[in-house]
Amino acid sequence: MIRFENVGMRYGAGPEVLRDISFDLPQGSFRFLTGSSGAGKSSLLRLMYLAHSPSRGLINLFDKDLATLSRRELPPLRRKIGVVFQDFRLLEHLSAFDNVALPLRVAGAGESVIRKHVTELLVWVGLGDHLKAKPATLSGGQKQRVAIARAVITRPSLLLADEPTGNVDDAIAVRLLYLFEELNRMGATVVIATHNMPLIERFGHPVMRLVHGELTDNAPRGSRTKGR
């Protein structure tokens, strides 16, 4: 599913923010990605959701070596990946419905299919009464759920979330994690970047830990063997 081999990453001509990253994530696995601020969590996610190229090393995604792919081959690959951004990245001029519908429209889905699926999903995440609401009128938690709905509307094979519980209270954070587990049970590989240790302890999935750009912990262990 995902394989990193001695991957390094830098922004422009700056220093490496990730060094010698190597790991394997099989299909259907669930991982927490943790580390202090600036450790490189978001950078590692950027590599995984194909927003940035590695400066060295090999990345294999969905059995494809990224180094050998052309630009034309990337969009279909990106459509298999759902991303929940830390800052949501909702389009302010679109309603909750249209924000969630965006990946389906980009993929060329028909409007009748879009209406059915988007409405169902927004009802499922508890926003059935906010289909036409613009992001500016939604609370942080509601925006979070719209962002999550947009990330999962295409039933991605890989779901990546960058601090998805950072703007919500504990009760909603737990609900969101249950939602991610549900998607994981449906077959999606899930990677959640967070430094919410109580949440990590509570759900007990394996942890990938980054320290100063290096992966120091990447093995299912002890009580954290719940994930595959």
Partner 1 sequence: MKRGVPGVIGDPVGRFLPWIVAFLVYIATLALTGALAIQAAADSWRAGLSGTLTVELSPLVDESPDGMQLRLDQALNVIRGTAGVRSAEVLSSEAVQALLAPWLGPSLDIAALPLPRLIDIRLESDDFDTLALDSRLRAFIQGARVDDHAVWRDRLVRAMRGLQAIGLLVVGILLATAVVMVVFATRGSLAAQKDVVELLHLIGATDSYIAGQFQRHALRHALVGGGIGALAGALTILLLGLIAAKLEVAPLGGGLIDWPVWTALLLSPVAAGVLALWAARRTVLAALARMM
For partner 1, which stretch binds (CB under 8 A), given 2-10, 77-85, 123-131, 204-212?
77-85
Q: Is 98 in the site for partner 1 (CB under 8 A)?
A: yes
Q: For partner 1, which residue of 49, 158, 180, 190 counts as binding (CB under 8 A)?
A: 49
Residues 6 or more apart whose CB falls under 8 angstroms from that of 44 comprise: 9, 18, 21, 33, 193, 210
Task: Give the CA angle between residues 85, 90, 94 to the nearest 5°.
Answer: 160
Rounded Cα–Cα distance for residues 131 and 123 (Å) = 9
Structure tokens at 200: 């990590």
At residue 48, the 3 state secondary structure works out as: helix
**One of 11, 22, 38, 107 touching partner 1 (CB under 8 A):** 107
Alpha-helix residue ranges (DSSP H) falling in 49-193: 74-78, 96-106, 111-124, 140-152, 170-185
3-state secondary structure of 59: strand
Q: Which is nearer to partner 1, 105 or 212 (CB)?
A: 105
Nearer to partner 1, 49 or 203 (CB): 49
Residue 30 beta carbon to partner 1: minimum distance, rounded to whole angstroms? 22
From the list 79, 134, 209, 228, which residue makes contact with partner 1 (rule: CB under 8 A)?
79
Q: Which of 105, 212, 221, 226 touches partner 1 (CB under 8 A)?
A: 105
Among 53, 139, 216, 225, interactor with partner 1 by CB under 8 A: 53
Q: 41-58 burial by CB neighbour count: b if 16+ within 10 A, else e?
A: bbbbbbbbbbebebeebe
List the structure tokens of 89.
């990245």
Q: Which is nearer to partner 1, 102 or 199 (CB)?
A: 102
Tell me which residues touch partner 1 (CB under 8 A). Answer: 49-53, 71-72, 74-79, 81, 83, 89, 91, 93-95, 98, 102-103, 105-107, 111, 150
